[in-house]
Structure 1
Amino acid sequence: MQKFNRPTSYASQPEERWKKWETQQPKAQNAIWDTAPGYDLIPEVDLPMFHSLFLDGTHSSPPVTPLYGYMWVRHCGLGTKWVNIALSLPTCYGWEWRYINGGLYVAFLVVRDPNERKEREVRFREAIVPYLEDFQGIWERNKGILNNVYAHLKEFDPQKATALDFWRHNWELDEAYQKMWEIHFFGMQTSYSAWILLEEECKKRFGMNDQAPEFQDMMRGFENEVYKIDKELWLLSKQAIEMGLGDIFKQYSPEEVLSKLLDSAKGKEWKERFEGFLHQYGWRMVRMNDLVDPYWLEKPSIPLKIIKDHIVGGIADRKDYPLDEKRKELTQRREAAVKNLLERVPPQDKEWFSSLIKLAQAASVYSEEHDLYCELTCQALMRRGYLAIGNRLAQAGAIDRPEDVFMLNPWEIESSILIPSHNDQRWITRRRRAEWEGWVERFIKEGEWRPPVYTDRPEGLPEAVEKDLLPSMDPICVKIIIGELPTPKEGIKADIIGLCGSPGVAEGPARVIINYEELDQLKPGEILVCPGTNPAWTPAFNIAGGVIADRGGTLSHTAIIGREYGLPVVVNTFTACQKIRTGQRIKLDATNGAVYLLD
C-alpha cells in the first residue's frame, strides 16, 4: 500500500505552495477543518450529550473513507430519525452518528420516560398495521420508487455534462442517498420490530429467545431476489460447462476469460448471455461498506470469478442448485416450527401471533433483498457519479487522481466543481488519504484496533450496553449493528463465546479471513473465521463447514445466510479473529454459541 506521509510525496520537485506549507505546517494543519463537519466524534462534546457511542464494526470494517463516512453519519442518522418519528417507535427517537478513525460510531436516542413510551406504543401499533397486512406490497412500491431514482442517476452522461451538470449531479447523488435511507429504514424498523416483539412474546410464554433452534427454524427457507441472482450465476457456470467452455475458465484468470471466449462461436454466445446478465444485475457493488471497490458492470471479472469458482469447485456439476435443495428441507422445518408454536398459543391470540410471525419472517427476506436495492445499487451509482466528478477535478489539478474525491465531502466537492482549476483541494485530500490508508493498514495488521465504545459510564462497555444500548430496544442495533453481548450458558466452558446465528455443530480446521479478497484461500469444510460478512462473502457459504464472526447479531448477514445454507454460525464473538489462527483445529457448537480450540 502506497504511503502518503506528507503532501510533497506526490512530486519529485515540490511546488512553491507546498514549500510554504512545510514551513507553516502547524498553522496549516489547524486550518484543515474536520472530515465530517458537525459529525466528527469529539468525546469532550459528544459524551455529555449521549454518554455512549458504539462502534458499528459491521459497516465500518475495514475503516471507511471520509466521503462515505460523511454520507453515512449524516444520512443514516437522518433516516432513522425520520422513520422513528413517522412510526413513533416506542423506545428510541433515532440514532446519532459520529465518525473517527474511519469508524462509524452510533448513539441511540433512548426514550426514557415510561409514560412517553406508553403513548408512543399506542401510536406505533397503529402505524405498523399496514405493514402487518401488506409488507410485501409496500416493499414492491418502494422498490419502484428507488428504481425511478436510479434511472434518473443513470441518465447522467459525464462526457456531455457541463460544469453546472456536474454541480447538480453532486447533489442528486446526495438526495438519492437520503431517499434510499428513508425507504431502507421503513422496511427494517417494521419487520425487525416484529421480530423483537415475537421474541419477547416467546420469552414470556415459552422461555424461548431468537437463538433457540425452534425460533430460528421459523425464520428460514425463503427465496429472495439476491438468491435468484446467485442462482443465475450458477446457471451461467453450468451453461459454460455444457457448451464446452469449462477449460477456459479453469485455465485463465477471470480478467482473461472474456477475451478468450471470443475465439469460438460458443464462447461468443455465452459471452452475450453474460452481458445480458450484467445489463440486468451489473449495478451492484461488491460490498456495501464504502465506495472504493468497483461494481460488477465496472469490473466484470468480479462475477466471473464466482462463475469460475463454481466450475473449479464442482458446484456447477451439480444437477440442482445447492440452495434449492437445502430450501426444500428448510421450508418443511419452517412450516412445522410455525405450526408447533401456534398450537401452543391460546385461540384468542392466534391471529395476532400469525401476523407477527409473518412480518418477523419478512425481516429475513428483506434484510438481504434491501441490501441489493438499497446500498449495493445506490452506492454503485454513487461510485460512478463521484468518480466522474473526481476525474473532472483531477484533470484540472484540484486533486491528484479521480479516487481522491473519496477524501472529500459533498460541500468540499461543491466548492471545486464549477471552476476546479481555481480551487486546489490537494491540501485536504493528501492529508486525509495518508490518514485513511494508515487506518486501513493498521486494521489489516492488527484486526479491530478502534475502541468498541466511547463512553463516560464509569464501568465502561458493560454499563454502556446496559444503560445506553439495550434500553433503546432498537431492533436494528440489537440484532445487527451492535448485537447483544454474549453470555455463556450454564455448564458451557468454551474458549470463545458468541451468539447463535444459525444452530448446528461443526469441527475442522479454521481459516481466518479479514478481507473478502482473500476468500479464494478458503477450502471446503474449513470453518471461516472473520470480522463479519456482507453479500460479497456469500459464495463462501457454499464452501465453509461453519462460520464464526466477531460482529453481528441474529439478523446480521452472517446469521441469515448461515440459516439459509444450513450452516452452523456463531456471531458477536468480538475476539475470534485474534484468538484463532488459520489451520488450528476447532469445534463450533453454534447452538450454544460456543467455540472450542482443540489444538
Structure 2
Amino acid sequence: MTSDQQFALTLDDADATDLALTGGKGSALARLVGAGLPVPGGVVVTTAATSALFDVAGDDFEAALDRLDAVDPADTTALADAAETVRAVIRAADLPPATVRTVDEALAGLAADTDDADTTFAVRSSATAEDLPEASFAGQHETYLHVPRDAVVGRVRDCAASLFTDRAVAYRARNGVSNRDVAMAVVVQPTVDADAAGVLFTADPVTGNRRVATVDATFGLGEALVAGETTPDSARVDRDSGAVLDYEVGEKAVVTRARSTAADAAAPAGTGGTETVPLSSDRRGERVLSDQQLRTLVDLGERAEALFDTPQDVEWALVDGTFLLLQSRPVASLFPVPTPEPTDDRLHVYVSVGHMQAFPEAMPPLVRDVWLRYVEAEAPAFGMESFWTTPAVEAGERVYFDLTPVLRLKTAREDLPDSFANINEPAAEGLRDLLARRGDEFAARPTLATVPALARMGWTVGSLSAAVVPRTLASVARTLVSPPDPADVEAWFVTYGRLEADRVRGMETPEARARAAFASLDIPEILTELYPRIAPLFVAFALGGWLKRRFPDEAEDVNAVGRGFPEELVTRINLGLGDLADVARDHPAVADALRSRATLDDLESTDGGDAFLAALDAYLDEFGHRATGEIDVSRPRWCEDPSGLLGAVRANLAGNESGAHRDRLHRLERQAEAAARRLESRADIGPLGPLRRRVVRHVVRIYRGTVLVREYPKQGVAHLFAAWHDVLADAGESLARAGRLDDPDDVWFLRREELLAALDGDADGGSDDGDAAELRPRIEARRRTFERFRTVDAPPLLTSEGEAPRPPVDSDLPAGTLVGTGVSVGVVEGVARVVRDPRVATVQPGEVLVAPSTDPGWTPLFLNAAALVSEVGGPVSHGALVAREYGLPAVVSVRGATHSIRTGQRVRVDGARGTVEVLDDGVAGDGRSAAPGRDSDSDERADPDRDAETTPA
C-alpha cells in the first residue's frame, strides 16, 4: 500500500480498524462493518492525511501549539484565545495535493455506489482519543451534514481544526490527555434521508441495569433529538425476554430533514445542510417504532456490545424499514458491574463497605484486599460458607458486601431497609425500591441438599448467640440502671486496639507483618467481647428514639440533651485543636508563622515554637493514630502528616477569639441542662405527671451518660488501622530498597498475593517473581484505573446486573433545591465551601461545609462550619453525630452535592426538612471547586454534548 492510499481508507479495509489511523469513530465503524452489522458505506480520511495538513502549517502550527501548551487550563479566556489561534493556522493551510487527490478518488467511488449525481455527504471528526471507555469526547469536535462533494475537502480541514476547539482542549485538560498525544481522522459517508433516527443504549444509562436497553426515537433525522429541540419517544426493553417494559410517546413537535436541493445543502457553516420544521400535529402522537422494530434494534445493539465487550451507545437511522448503525461507542457514565459475578444465576444486591463507614471514595488495590479478606471472614464465622460463597466483590475501585444471603430471610427483607436508614438513607430507599419491585427474586429456595448446610449455619449462629446475647442483655440491664464510667469504656477499646496493633507490628519479618495485616480476626471472640461493651450505645439509640417519640414537637430540646460533653471524643479532638490555637496566640511569632504556612521545622526555630510543638506532640500522642478517611489504610496518619491539623489551627486563628471553643462547650452544657428541665416540665402534666417527670429525668440521665461514648470504639480500632498502614508502608519501603518497586508508594497498587510473593523473593535473596520490571506495567495500569474512578461518585447500593437502585427524585421541588436526610435541626444561610480533601482545605467561620463524606478525619473542619451538607450518611453517621454535638444544621445523603454546589455560592440548609437551597451563583473561592463537575449518575439520554451526527447514512 502506498502512502497516498493511506490518506483514505474505505470502512471495509482491514487497516480501517486501526485506532491510530482512523480514530475512535472510524475504527469503531470499521469493526462494525467487519462484523457484518448494517453500516452505511464510507471512507475515512486518515490521521496521516490530517498530519500532512499540520505539516503544511509548519512553524506557525508548532508555535501556536507551544502557546496553547503553556496556558493554564483554569484560565478559560487565555485557553480560548490560544485554541482559536491553532484553529486559524490550520484553516489557513491547504491539504497537500496527494491528499486531495486521494480524497477525491474516494468520494468518486462513494458517489458511484449511490448512483446519484447530487450525492451529499456527512463529514464527521474521528479523533484518536474519542469514543473510548475512559473518555468519550462526545460533542467536542465538529460534524457537518449534507455537504456537497466539492465542499468535502474544506470540511475535512475544518474537522481537523476542530481537534483544537475550546471545549475539546478543556476536555482533554480535565481528562489528563496531552494536546500532542491526539490526532484526527475524518469519516465521510453519503447522506441518506432517514425515516426515523435515534439513540440506543444497550444498558440503562439512568439505573445502570445491563439487562435493560433504552431507546430514544424521533421521526426524520436525529439532529433535533441530539440538540434537545424535540421530545422523542422513549422505550425500555428487557434484553433477556425481549419484552417492551414501557413505551412513552414523546411530543415530537419538530422534525429535522435534509434541505430540498444540493444548493441549499451548501449553506453557511452551522446550518448543517438540514432544516428543522414543525411536525404535523396528526403525527406527533404516533409511535416511531413498533415493538418488533425495538426488538430488532436491540438485537443489533447486543451484537455491537458483544463485539466491543462493553455496553454501547449506538446512534441509528431507519431507512425504508432497515436499521443502519451510524456510530457505536462505550456508555462512558456506567458504573462497573461487581466482580466476580454470581455463580448461581440469581439476582444479587451489594452494599458499599465504604458508604457504611461514611467513606464513599475509591481505595487502591492493596487496601481493597485488606477489606476483602476481613469481609470474607464473616461467612465461616456464621457457618454460611455454603450460601455466602462470595461475601465481598469489587466495583469502581470500591469493596461491596453481598447482602443477598441475608435477604433470603423474609424478616430481613422487611427490616433491613429500616436498619440501613440510620446509616445511609439512599441505600435504605434504594433497597426498599428494589425489594418492592423484585423482592420475590431474593426468596430462599431450600432443597433437601441444603438441609445439612442450613443445620450447620443454625448451630453456629445459635452457639454464637448463646455466648453473646446473655452477656449483652446483662450489660443493657446494668446500663439502664446506671451508665458505665466513660473512662472505663474508652480504656477497654483503646487497650484492645493497641494489643491488636502490637500483634501486627510485633512479627519478625516484613512478610510476616504484611501477612498479619491480612490475617482474619477471630470474629466470634470479638463479638463475645464487643457486644457487651457497646451495649451502652444500644441503650443510647433506644432512649434517644424514645425521647423523639415522646416529644415529637420538641426536636431542638431533644437534640440539645444529646450534646455538650467534655468527655466525648469528637469534642476532645476539637477542644485540643482550639487549645493549640490558643498556645499559638500566646506566642505571636508562632501565630504569624502558622498563618504563613510554616513547616514544623520552621517552628522549631520560631520564638515560642517549642511550647507549641510540645502541645502538638501531646495532642498527637492521643490522636496521632487517626487519619482522614482512615479506613483507607494507604493514607498517612496524623502523626505522619499533621498538615490538616495545622490548617484547622490556622483557620481557628483567623476566626475565633482565645478560649472561644471552650466557651462554646460550656454554652452547650448549659443548653442541655435547660433543655432537660423543659422536657421534664412538659412531662409533668396530670395525675401521673410527677412520675412521668422522674421517668424523663432518669431517661435523660442515662441517655447523656451513654451517648457520649459513641466514638470510643473507633478510637480503639483506629490503632489497628494505623498498624496496618505502618506495616504495609514499611513493606513498600523494603521492596523499593531491594529494587522490586520503583517507589515505596507503589505498594498500594499491588494485590495481596503479589506483595507476599515479592516479599518472599526479597527474603530469599531475590527471584524473578515480583521483579520491578514485571510489576511496573501492572502498577501503572492500576494507577490509571484508580485515578479514573477516584472522582466518580459510587452508588451505595449495586446489583449484579449493574443497577444502582436509588430513591425517586421529587419533581415538585423548587429549582435549585437539593434533598437529603435532615439529621440535625436548624436553618442556616451561608457561603458554601466545597471540600473534597480535608487535608488541604480549611473552612472559614460561618461557611457551610459541603463534603462527599465526613468520617472522624473531617472533625477539625467542623470548628468553623455553620452547617453541614454531605453526600453520604444517615442519622447515626459520624457527620450527623458531630453536627448535633455542635448544634449545626445538617443534611446528609444529598446526592451530587459536591457537583451541584460551588464554593462561594450562598445556600440555605434546613436540617429539619432535609433540604439545601442554592440561592445564587456566588463567586468561586478557589480553582479546585469553582466549576461544578458532571454528575457521573446523570441521564446520558439528554446529553447536550452528543455529536449532532445521526444523519450520515
TM-score in terms of structure 1 length: 0.72
Corresponding position of 2:748? 406
Corresponding position of 1:71? 370
SS at match of 2:394: strand
- The CA distance in 1 between the partners of 2:819 and 2:738, in whole Å, is 54
SS at match of 1:249: helix
Corresponding position of 2:876? 555
- Pair 1:292 & 2:634 matched: yes
Shift of 1:290: 1.0
Shift of 1:302: 4.0
Distance 1:320 1:310, change over 3 A: closer
SS at match of 2:711: helix
- Pair 1:61 & 2:382 matched: no
Distance 1:42 1:172, change over 3 A: closer
Corresponding position of 2:829? 507
Corresponding position of 2:322? none
SS at match of 2:828: strand
What letter corresponds to residue 145 of structure 1 in structure 2? Y
Out of 137, 140, 149, the position equivalent to 2:491 is: 140
- Greater mean alpha carbon deviation, residues 536-545 or residues 242-251: 242-251
Q: Over residues 365-397 of structure 1, what are the superposed CA-to-partner deviations in whole Å (9 max), with x where a residue is unaligned?
A: 34433332213x322222221111111112223
Preserved contact between residue 680 and residue 693 of structure 2 (Cα < 8 Å): no
What letter corresponds to residue 69 of structure 1 in structure 2? R
What letter corresponds to residue 782 of structure 2 in structure 1? E
- Pair 1:235 & 2:235 matched: no
- Pair 1:431 & 2:784 matched: no
Shift of 1:428: 4.9
Distance 1:366 1:509, change over 3 A: same
- The CA distance in 1 between the partners of 2:358 and 2:777, in whole Å, is 24
What letter corresponds to residue 496 of structure 2 in structure 1? I
Shift of 1:507: 0.8
- The CA distance in 2 between the partners of 1:115 and 1:299, in whole Å, is 43
- The CA distance in 2 between the partners of 1:361 and 1:102, in whole Å, is 40
- The CA distance in 2 between the partners of 1:117 and 1:354, in whole Å, is 34
Distance 1:170 1:554, change over 3 A: same
- Pair 1:381 & 2:718 matched: no
Distance 1:189 1:169, change over 3 A: same
What letter corresponds to residue 424 of structure 1 in structure 2? G
Distance 1:50 1:337, change over 3 A: farther
Preserved contact between residue 191 and residue 359 of structure 1 (Cα < 8 Å): no
- Pair 1:567 & 2:892 matched: no
SS at match of 1:41: coil
Corresponding position of 2:669? 328
Q: Which has the higher contact order (CA 8 A, sep 6+)?
A: 1
What letter corresponds to residue 321 of structure 1 in structure 2? R
Corresponding position of 1:365? 708
What letter corresponds to residue 365 of structure 2 in structure 1? P
Preserved contact between residue 351 and residue 402 of structure 2 (Cα < 8 Å): yes
Corresponding position of 2:517? 173
Aligned counterparts, 1:19-418, within 5 A: 41-42=338-339, 44-45=341-342, 48=345, 51-55=348-352, 56-57=354-355, 58-76=357-375, 78=377, 96-108=391-403, 109-110=406-407, 112-113=409-410, 126-132=470-476, 133=478, 137=488, 140-153=491-504, 165-175=509-519, 182=526, 186=531, 190=535, 193-194=538-539, 197-198=542-543, 206=550, 208=552, 212-213=555-556, 215-222=558-565, 223-255=567-599, 257-264=600-607, 266-315=608-657, 317-318=658-659, 321-332=662-673, 335-336=676-677, 339=680, 364-375=707-718, 377-418=719-760
What letter corresponds to residue 495 of structure 1 in structure 2? T
- The CA distance in 2 between the partners of 1:228 and 1:110, in whole Å, is 40
- The CA distance in 2 between the partners of 1:497 and 1:380, in whole Å, is 36
Shift of 1:583: 2.2
- The CA distance in 2 between the partners of 1:335 and 1:358, in whole Å, is 9
Distance 1:545 1:128, change over 3 A: same
Q: Over residues 156-205 of structure 1, what are the superposed CA-to-partner deviations in whole Å (9 max), with x where a residue is unaligned?
A: 7xxxxxxx6222212333348777994797479745654665577678x6
Q: How many residue pairs end up in the alignment?
A: 518
Aligned counterparts, 1:428-467, within 5 A: 428=775, 430-444=777-791, 447-448=792-793, 450-455=794-799, 461=805
Corresponding position of 1:17? none
- The CA distance in 1 between the partners of 2:617 and 2:502, in whole Å, is 19
What letter corresponds to residue 312 of structure 1 in structure 2? A
- The CA distance in 1 between the partners of 2:530 and 2:598, in whole Å, is 36
What letter corresponds to residue 295 of structure 1 in structure 2? R
Distance 1:290 1:185, change over 3 A: farther
- The CA distance in 1 between the partners of 2:829 and 2:689, in whole Å, is 41
Q: Over residues 518-538 of structure 1, what are the superposed CA-to-partner deviations in whole Å (9 max), with x where a residue is unaligned?
A: 422x33222222211122222
Preserved contact between residue 486 and residue 572 of structure 1 (Cα < 8 Å): no
- Pair 1:537 & 2:882 matched: no
- Greater mean alpha carbon deviation, residues 114-123 or residues 99-108: 114-123
Shift of 1:307: 2.8
Distance 1:283 1:245, change over 3 A: same
- The CA distance in 2 between the partners of 1:443 and 1:407, in whole Å, is 14
Preserved contact between residue 496 and residue 576 of structure 1 (Cα < 8 Å): yes
SS at match of 1:106: strand
SS at match of 2:912: helix
What letter corresponds to residue 836 of structure 2 in structure 1? I
Preserved contact between residue 291 and residue 406 of structure 1 (Cα < 8 Å): no
Distance 1:488 1:78, change over 3 A: farther
Shift of 1:509: 2.3
- The CA distance in 2 between the partners of 1:351 and 1:433, in whole Å, is 66
Preserved contact between residue 503 and residue 591 of structure 1 (Cα < 8 Å): yes
- The CA distance in 1 between the partners of 2:907 and 2:856, in whole Å, is 25
> What is the percentage of aligned positions where both structures have the same residue?
20
Distance 1:538 1:269, change over 3 A: closer
Shift of 1:216: 3.3
Out of 901, 904, 913, the position equivalent to 1:580 is: 901
SS at match of 1:105: strand
Corresponding position of 2:81? none
The RMSD of aligned alpha carbons is 4.7
Distance 1:274 1:573, change over 3 A: closer
Preserved contact between residue 397 and residue 789 of structure 2 (Cα < 8 Å): no
Structure 2: gaps (5+ residues): 1-172, 178-336, 416-457, 921-953
- The CA distance in 1 between the partners of 2:376 and 2:678, in whole Å, is 37
Relative to total residues, which structure has the larger helix share, 1 or 2?
A: 1
Structure showing greater radius of gyration is 2
Distance 1:279 1:550, change over 3 A: closer
- Greater mean alpha carbon deviation, residues 397-406 or residues 361-370: 361-370
Shift of 1:308: 2.9
Structure 1: gaps (5+ residues): 6-39, 86-92, 157-163, 463-484
